[in-house]
Amino acid sequence: MQRFPLLALLLLTLTSPALAQGWPDRPLRLLVPFAPGGVTDSIGRLSAEFLGARLGQSVVVENRTGAGGAIAVEAVARSRADGYTLLTASASQMVMLPALARVPYDAARDFAPISIIGANPQVLAVAARIGVNTLPEFIAYLRANPGRVNYSSGGNGSSNHLAMALLLHRAGVSAEHVPYRGGAPAMQALLAGDVAAYFGNPSDIIPHQGGAAIRVIAVAGGERMSALPGVPTVAEQGFPDFRAETWNGIAAPAGTPDAAITRMADILGTACADAAFRGALERMGTVPVCSTPAQFRAAMERDGPQWAELVRVAAVRLE
């Protein structure tokens, strides 16, 4: 009877190459598809620190921008599936960008989901210089200034881009899209007055609320945010059922040993119960999730068709 635990351990060792080789015995690499400073980067760095401390190896964050995030995603998809290369997976690249254009990866086929860390309702902010304080006033401003209003986003096909495109479509107005390489530079463009609006991630916008440069006028979630209690939802301001929310998580190349995926998922699955980790997410304006791999895959299967329909309805095209 005493042999069964030993036999089980032996079988696990033989069938889990990553653990059999002492995984992890060197630092891991986590690619972020956007520039430093945005919500995807912030969640990636927070997760890397939490994961690394519990694996006993550092997780080195590498920002690799370009092609709306597809460059980083493809790089991870083509990486060796040994548990040492990870992706800060954003809904923008996993389910939105494939709805907009041909991409060199298949998110469902090429990745092993580990955990969705947090969800982000998009937040609409406008430059104070245009003199509007509510969503109806912003729509009226667009109607009064056809062809003369621009907005920033974190890249073509990003959640920022699609959220604004859908709003413009619903309102029957237009504005010029100015894409940047990530949420942080898109926000800086708004603060500098280079663009009139930015429908961005809460972490980009919340630190600047109440300042002289911008006005926060709407939240695209199902309810108001605790971090922005005085800001009404888009639905409250005349657009029923309007929602634009995304998620960010950690994924690995398909074929990464199950034992490595399970170990990382177990660690990240408990992260939201950690007060410091949860507090950091909430300060970003991110809703803590910390899902299982199965829940992550279910979200991809659910959201892919929804965003594809959004792209069709909003008639979005990559510039």
Tell me the pTM.
0.73
Q: What is the DSSP code (8-state) at residue 69?
A: G
Mean pLDDT score, 143-163: 91
**pLDDT value, residue 315:** 67
**pLDDT value, residue 13:** 43
Cα(147)–Cα(126) distance, integer angstroms: 17
Cα(286)–Cα(279) distance, integer angstroms: 10
**pLDDT value, residue 2:** 44
**pLDDT value, residue 4:** 40
Higher pLDDT, 304 or 231: 231
**pLDDT value, residue 15:** 44
pLDDT per position as a tens digit, 23-45 = 999 999 999 999 998 889 999 99
Cα(95)–Cα(233) distance, integer angstroms: 24
Q: Three-state DSSP class for 150?
A: strand
Res. 21 pLDDT band, cuts 50 70 90? low
**pLDDT value, residue 18:** 41
Phi-psi region of 60 (alpha: psi -120 to 50; beta: other; left: phi over 0): beta
Q: What is the DSSP code (8-state) at residue 226?
A: T
pLDDT per position as a tens digit, 181-199 = 888 999 999 999 999 999 9
Res. 176 pLDDT band, cuts 50 70 90? very high
What contacts 232, CB < 8 A, 6 or more positions away?
Answer: 135, 218, 219, 224
Higher pLDDT, 317 or 279: 279
Q: Three-state DSSP class for 277?
A: helix
Cα(167)–Cα(238) distance, integer angstroms: 11
The DSSP code sequence of 25-66 is SS-EEEEESS-TTSHHHHHHHHHHHHHHHHHTS-EEEEE---
